[in-house]
Amino acid sequence: MQFLFEEDGALIFRRRRELMKICAWGKGLRVIATQNRAFSGRDWALDTPMQHPAKVTVSEHLAVIENGNIRAEVTEYGKLTFYNAEGKLLLKEYYRTWEYGTEGWRELDQISQLRAAGREYRAVGGDNYALRVRFEPNAEKFFGMGQYQQPTFDLKGSTLELEQKNTQASVPFLLSSNGYGFLWNNPAVGRATLGTNYTEFTARSSKQIDYWIAAGGTPKEILSAYMEAVGKPPMMPEYALGFWQCKLRYQTQEELLAVAHEYHRRGIPVGVIVVDFFHWTQQGDWQFDRRYWPDPEGMSKELDSLGMKLMVSVWPTVDRNSVHYREMEERDLLVRVDKGLAVTMDCWGFEQFFDATNPESRAFVWNCCKENYRKNGVTLFWLDEAEPEYTAADWELYRYYDGPALECANEYPVQYARAFYEGMRAEGDEDIINLIRCAWAGSAKYGALVWSGDVPSTFKALRNQYNAGLHMAMAGIPWWTADIGGFHGGNIHDPAFHELLARWFEFAAYLPVMRLHGDRDPHDKPPLGKDGGGMCFTGAENEVWAYPPFLESIMEAHIRRREEMREYLCAVMKEAHEEGAPVIRPLFYSFPEDKNCWQEHEEFMLGEKLLVCPVLEAGVREREVYFPAGADWLAEDGTLHRGGTFAKVPAPIEYIPVFKRK
């Protein structure tokens, strides 16, 4: 009886209840497995067809499939092992069981009475299973997986929720120091355990196992193969490379224009200025409240004359009182609630999210925004609440066009970004960028600039942003940023906050996007009204001149530093667009042969030429720097540091250490 066979250039395994297919996909191998009678047909993040014939060899007890740098071996019992082209073991499924051969029963792998398989299925109803995939541990380091608010650099030993939340973005691509990249191509709610005893991915409810793996000699080679498979970002428009001014929240058109003119009067360049949430008549109306924003088109033209682009906040929430609620409900364009009240969020009313996985719903929301925003001069959109942020994150309650939330919830931010990207492309826009609060695999190709959400205004949070940004970069999200100063809790009169804001501003000057934002204290301004665009509170001032002179000068100096880097940033963004390269990079990405670069040094590369060494703790005025081997490094004062060495360098409150690769 033959359990392994070739079909259309792919390797098929069928035995007992399980059906598995391994095929060449781009520069890697894709593995799909199920206990259903057929595969689901869903490609999720691998939605650009890249399957092609592979080299398949089938013998009596073993089959091999090869594609470029990677090779998989499958036994007649279905056990999978992956090697690179040189024969190095990359990844092996975790099995603890017995098999019968010519010599009788024999154990596989280890002496143990434990029975465990690398792929496990537990029926949870209908065609869905709780899935579990396990691999043997290696002596390796892990990076990527998206954004988690923790200070962990090497993720080995971590357990990560595969769930979207405010400040948490699950982007399940793992880059291993052992020479491979692994995409868990499944948007189901689940968990990743990157343990020392095994590596495990689970899905609470899904129709099939689906993952992609590629090998490479360097992290750059691996990440490049991954970005080809899931999509590279557009070219970042040049206006987005400058400074973005934002706060929670400008209450009126008059107030925003006054801020814009004051920046212009002071000669401080601003690329983007932002209208935050609750400028609208109602959640789900997607339009300005003309009592407070009487002439959006005129406002946009005035900002253009000052060299500034206008961005507005969009929420996916549709309030019961929205002008669109009844139509969207009748047309089934909202996220369904299977149990209880039809409410997904409680925020100044009862709201439901629009169903971003539904093409008809995406078109509906975009058309509203096109008519009410884009035609009034809005250049880009701030796609907030993109997880989306359920008031009760009980995934069993909700259902999307693409299936139950348990099965597909993690794809929501991708489809949210897609709605605006495809709408803007249809209007003739090319270099598209939209700010969004969450991401999943494949978000980059839809122009998603991810920011890290509503993080607190603390040095601990700043330290977490350093790791969050680098892990997002290694997960295939090249455009990433954070609210400068944090979102919650920064008092504009507090000297401790002044130091934090200075260090955060200096750090952000070297991020893909430099955006000042936050809900600043004290809250001493009452709302302007009781409904619509007047009902929401506002925080304290958050412009550079709202702070003491020493801090204002630091911020202005770094805005001008950002302008001086514009040509270099354009080149780095072009590399991201054409090659899928990250904008900010862990040291090991650029210097993989230097073992020191795989350690945590609180440093990163901006492109290939700038070594950035942020200050992430209060009171620090000098810090140790490691200079990667393979290059020499030039300080701003002309001091030359040899590669492969450590040195203590000055880090006064006015700047952080930055070195040019010589």
In angstroms, rounded to a whole number, what is the distance separating the alpha carbons of residues 287 and 277? 11
In angstroms, rounded to a whole number, what is the distance separating the alpha carbons of residues 561 and 294? 36
Determine the pLDDT at residue 116: 77
In angstroms, rounded to a whole number, what is the distance separating the alpha carbons of residues 139 and 336? 45
**Residue for token digits 């691999």?**
135
In angstroms, rounded to a whole number, what is the distance separating the alpha carbons of residues 113 and 152? 35
> How would you class 506 by CB atoms within 10 Å of its CB: exposed for 0-12, middle for 13-18, buried for 19 or more?
buried
pLDDT one-digit tens code per residue, 61-97:
999 999 999 999 999 999 999 999 999 999 999 998 6
Determine the pLDDT at residue 108: 52
pLDDT one-digit tens code per residue, 459-488:
999 999 999 999 999 999 999 999 999 999
Q: Are 384 and 315 in contact (CB under 8 A)?
A: yes
Nearest to 404 by CA among 357, 360, 440: 357
pTM for the structure as a whole: 0.97
pLDDT one-digit tens code per residue, 339-367:
999 999 999 999 999 999 999 999 999 99
92-101, 127-136, 570-579: least confident range: 92-101
Determine the pLDDT at residue 1: 61
Confidence band of 104 (pLDDT split at 50, 70, 90): low
Active-site residue set: 384, 387, 454
Q: Are 448 and 434 in contact (CB under 8 A)?
A: yes
Report whether pLDDT(102) > 80: no
Angle, alpha carbons 628-629-632 (nearest 5°): 80
In angstroms, rounded to a whole number, what is the distance separating the alpha carbons of residues 541 and 556? 16
Q: Are 29 and 23 in contact (CB under 8 A)?
A: yes
CA 148, 154, 158, 161 dihedral sign is positive
Q: 10 Å Cβ neighbour count for 298?
A: 13
**Residue for token digits 């348990």?**
406
List the beta bridge partners of residue 311: 274, 380
**Residue for token digits 């009452």?**
526
- Domains, the chain, ordered by start: 4-215 (2.60.40.1760), 240-311+355-387+405-579 (3.20.20.80), 586-661 (2.60.40.1180)
In angstroms, rounded to a whole number, what is the distance separating the alpha carbons of residues 588 and 141? 11
Determine the pLDDT at residue 111: 46
Contacts of 290 by beta carbon, 8 Å cutoff, 6+ apart: none
pLDDT one-digit tens code per residue, 580-628:
999 999 999 999 999 999 999 999 999 999 999 999 999 999 999 999 9
Token digits of residue 125 = 């109803």
Mean pLDDT score across all residues of the chain:
96
pLDDT one-digit tens code per residue, 188-226:
999 999 999 999 999 999 999 999 999 999 999 999 999
